[in-house]
């Protein structure tokens, strides 16, 4: 469904990128997402799963490398172009859009190090990959760690808080032991991880480092893929490390810069969640709008009833609010360094909440049909519910945002 973009900033290249992404989302992502949603978690990643053909097509189009600098073979899209593409991918499927984002995380982080050896060994082969055989993941969360990972407060430097995954240096190698939680997106199928490990326990969580870790080496194993209520098309699974050894230079962030790097990564991730939520909300609005024109009650299409029109307008306004907010935030925070985390937190929390409200309203408009798997609305509602927890439960992120505001407000525009 075409929509009016009220920005006058889009040029011909921007529009072409958006149209190509929408075509891929409509013709490839939507059908595969529906099929995967009806499978078990094991079937989603089985050898005969349609997931692999989707990844192959996505890699052929370059969607796996949209964050990578052009100098290394990536697309290096502008923040506005990133928004246009990610909104369309999120319209196709929130879960698969997340997967297409996280496959690049380890390699994108390697780019930030400006380490020629890492770039040659990992980044360039990833960008040259066109069959989906090289896949990254963001191995951050642990079974007993959640919100305290996201909100640096007094306990962040408490030496009594031990992380599950530990790394210690043995000569020229890091030795890694521990478990990452089942919530690692792409964890069951990734070939490489952007891996978070505690390096200096005396500093608590703040004594962590980030590594680029291949997952096809001795000592790495996987658990069962996670069964979930929503985003069933997004594989998630636990990863175990048993005396895994990697070269010393595979560390891409040392403890001295870990807290700052976490702010930067979460700033980018939460801003992107706002964009994907825009796409999901728009999908729900369009499903409800189309249904309201076709469904007849009281002798006329229900879109002619005042209550339905009022609800549709409210949904429409929420979609436009999501787009305006998420686009402004990604355009700002992807153009400065470090990003202002509170704005990404606004985008994540507000857009995900509005997205859930829109999918809820879509269910109401479809009535009983909205509860059936015959209609896409039912999947969108389940996917949207997961977003309120994904990448940080909203209440915790709001508390973190309040902490930042209390310490920094008001910001001065001339600082940037």
Domain that includes residue 269, residue range: 259-415
* Greatest pairwise CA separation for the chain in angstroms: 79
What tens digit of pLDDT does each residue of 9-35 get? 999 999 999 999 999 999 999 999 999
Are residues 282 and 296 located together in one domain of the fold?
A: yes
- CA distance readout (Å), 8 to 4, 15, 65, 215: 11, 11, 27, 45
Predicted TM-score of the model (pTM):
0.96
Is the distance from CB of 174 to CB of 245 less than 8 angstroms?
A: yes
Tell me the pLDDT band of 149, cut-offs 50, 70 and 90: low
Q: Distance between CA atoms of 343 and 345, rounded to whole angstroms?
A: 5
Query: What is the pLDDT averaged over residues 306-313?
Result: 98
Tell me the pLDDT band of 67, cut-offs 50, 70 and 90: very high
Kind of pairing between the strands at 136-139 and 192-198: parallel
Question: What's 283-305 look like in SS3?
Answer: HHHHHHHHHHHHCEECCEEHHHC
Among 234, 256, 278, identify where a domain stops.
Answer: 256
Query: What is the pLDDT averaged over residues 92-101?
Result: 98
Residue 4 in domain: no
Are residues 295 and 333 located together in one domain of the fold?
A: yes
Are residues 246 and 302 located together in one domain of the fold?
A: no
Q: Give the pLDDT confidence score for residue 152 in this predicted structure.
A: 57
Are residues 67 and 32 located together in one domain of the fold?
A: yes
Tell me the pLDDT band of 145, cut-offs 50, 70 and 90: confident
How many separate domains does the chain show? 3
What tens digit of pLDDT does each residue of 150-162 get? 665 667 788 888 8
Residue 2 in domain: no
Chain-centroid distance, C-alpha 196: 17
Among 80, 97, 128, identify where a domain stops.
Answer: 128
Are residues 278 and 397 located together in one domain of the fold?
A: yes
What is the rounded average pLDDT for all residues in the chain? 95
What tens digit of pLDDT does each residue of 32-64 get? 999 999 999 999 999 999 999 999 999 999 999
151 φ, ψ (degrees, to nearest 5):
-125, 90
Could you tell me the two tokens for 346? 């606004």
């Amino acid at each position: 469904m075409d929509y009016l973009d009220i920005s006058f900033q889009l040029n011909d290249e921007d529009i072409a990128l958006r149209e190509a992404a929408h075509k891929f989302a409509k013709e490839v992502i939507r059908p595969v997402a529906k099929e995967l949603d009806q499978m078990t978690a094991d079937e989603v990643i089985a050898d005969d799963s349609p997931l692999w053909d989707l990844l192959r097509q996505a890699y052929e189009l370059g969607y796996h490398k949209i964050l990578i600098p052009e100098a290394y073979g990536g697309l290096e899209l502008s923040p506005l172009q990133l928004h246009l593409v990610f909104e369309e991918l999120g319209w196709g499927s929130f879960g698969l859009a997340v997967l297409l984002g996280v496959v690049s995380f380890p390699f994108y982080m390697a780019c930030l190090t400006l380490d020629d050896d890492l770039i040659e060994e990992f980044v360039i082969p990833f960008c040259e990959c066109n069959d989906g055989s090289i896949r990254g993941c963001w191995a951050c969360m642990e079974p007993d760690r959640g919100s305290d990972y996201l909100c640096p407060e007094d306990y962040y430097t408490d030496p009594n808080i031990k992380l599950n995954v530990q790394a210690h240096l043995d000569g020229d190698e890091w030795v890694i032991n521990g478990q990452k939680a089942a919530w690692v997106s792409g964890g069951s199928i990734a070939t490489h991880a952007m891996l978070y490990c505690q390096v200096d326990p005396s500093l608590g969580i703040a004594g962590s480092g980030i590594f680029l870790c291949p997952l096809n080496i001795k000592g790495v194993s996987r658990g069962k893929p996670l069964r979930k209520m929503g985003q069933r098309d997004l594989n998630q699974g636990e990863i175990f490390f048993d005396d895994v050894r990697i070269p010393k230079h595979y560390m891409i962030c040392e403890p001295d810069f870990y807290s700052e790097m976490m702010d930067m990564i979460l700033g980018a991730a939460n801003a992107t969640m706002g964009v994907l939520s825009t796409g999901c909300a728009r999908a729900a609005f369009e499903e409800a709008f189309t249904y309201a024109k076709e469904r007849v009650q009281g002798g006329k299409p229900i879109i002619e009833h005042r209550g339905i029109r009022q609800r549709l307008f409210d949904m429409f306004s929420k979609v436009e609010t999501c787009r305006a907010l998420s686009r402004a935030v990604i355009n700002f925070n992807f153009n400065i360094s470090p990003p202002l985390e509170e704005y990404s937190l606004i985008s994540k929390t507000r857009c995900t909440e509005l997205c859930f409200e829109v999918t809820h309203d879509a269910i109401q408009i479809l009535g009983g049909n909205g509860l059936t798997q015959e209609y896409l609305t039912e999947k969108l509602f389940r996917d949207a519910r997961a977003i309120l927890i994904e990448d940080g439960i909203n209440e915790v992120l709001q508390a973190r945002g309040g902490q930042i505001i209390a310490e920094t407000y008001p910001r001065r525009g001339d600082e940037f």
